[in-house]
Chains A and B, each alone.
Chain A
Amino acid sequence: MSAIDQLFITLKHWMVSFVPPSLQPIASVLFSIIAIIALFGSCFALTTILERKGLGRIQNRYGPNRVGPFGLLQPMADAIKMLTKEDIVPAAADKVLHYLAPIVLTVPIWLAFSVIPFGRNMSAIDFDAGIIFFFAVGASSELAVFMAGWSSHNKYSLIGAMRAIAQMVSYEVPLVLSTIPVIMLAGSLNLSDIVAAQSAETAGICHWNILTPWGLAGFFLFLIAAAAESNRSPFDLPEGESEIIAGYLTEYSGFKYALFFLGEYLGLFAVTGLGVTLFLGGWNPPLTDLGFVPSWLWFFAKFATLIAVFIWVRGTVPRLRFDQLLNFAWKFLVPLTLVNIFVAAVWHLATRIPTSARWLVCFGIILVTYQSLGRALNIGRTASRYYRYAQ
Chain B
Amino acid sequence: MLRILAFPYQPNDFERERASYSYLMSLVAAIAGLPMPLINLISTGVYYFSNKKSSRFVRWHCLQALLSQLLLFPMNVVAIYWTLHILFWDWQVTNSFAAFIITVLFFNLVEFIMTIIAAIQTRKGRHVEWWIFGPITNLFIPATNAP
Q: Are chains A and B native binding partners rather than an unrelated pairing?
A: no
Residues of A within 8 A of B (CB): none
